[in-house]
Homo-oligomer: A and B are copies of this chain.
């Protein structure tokens, strides 16, 4: 009998879904960023649950308040990717009995920070005991069936775009998990990317209301993985000609002789949206995203061949379908 570490997270999930598919035909197919059940009048009830486990998911140096906030932001980001406004959240907090009440309340304040930032309410939850802190957030929203952006709608010729640069979180994890160093100001900027991530909620909402995006995913599993997910679920490929690498990640890569492209592709814990946009609506979409204070960066184009390739410094690279994998490794993917 195999253990989950021998199988790896993605094959474990596939086995679970094989069981669940026999019993449920959810309104949004399994494997998208959020789940849904049909209500009347063309509405969907959207549900999302995501869990932060202190032992494995909280990088060294992150405060309890930042961790609480991040747990909430992770969930908002998934709704943002679908263009759904979060209405409310419930929280399940399991803690060791030796936890100080101050730490517990800091986590709750962090949750409130996130809830205030994204305009939703925390309406309830439960507590219990566990050997490490486990914080599960579940979030709900109501959406019109017609406006929700799935992972599966990309068409050949659509423009591949994203809402921000990549690479800083991979650099920050190399600092916190692998002990790499960086000059003080650079280090602060990089660490901020993992300690205080932002969800692209306003961006997701305007893109959904415009009906400009044909597919969308949040990049929490890394840019490479996200592109491959959109590719797999939309049955198209992508040719990427512009990977937006953050200048801080470039500087960090230079210092340590790392490949900045790899930092950008194979990181994770970023909460940008990776989308495909109807070409005729791209300029309008970009203007709308700018109007809410964001940016929409053109990365490439959807192609019929089912592969993900990147044109970087004059050379074509095959992008691998890898990202962070729980169970098999907690370390940074090698360069």
**B-binding residues in A (CB < 8 A):** 1-5, 7, 9, 12-13, 15-16, 19-20, 22-28, 30, 32, 34-37, 39, 45, 47-51, 53, 55-57, 87-88, 90-95, 97-102, 104-105, 108-109, 112, 115-116, 121-132, 134, 136, 138, 140, 142, 326-327
Contact = CB atoms under 8 A, between A and B. Distances in A.
A130 B123 contact: no
Nearest to A136: B136
Q: Which 6 A-B pairs have the closest CB atoms?
A: A35-B124, A138-B138, A5-B97, A26-B123, A136-B136, A37-B88
A57 to B, nearest CB: 7
A22 B116 CA distance: 12
A16 B104 contact: yes
Contact of A26 (B45, B57, B98, B121): B121
A36 to B, nearest CB: 7
> How many protomers of this protein does the assembly include?
2
Contacts of A91: 49
Contacts of A5: 97-98
- For the residues of A in contact with B, the DSSP-based class is mixed
Contacts of A140: 37, 45, 47, 140
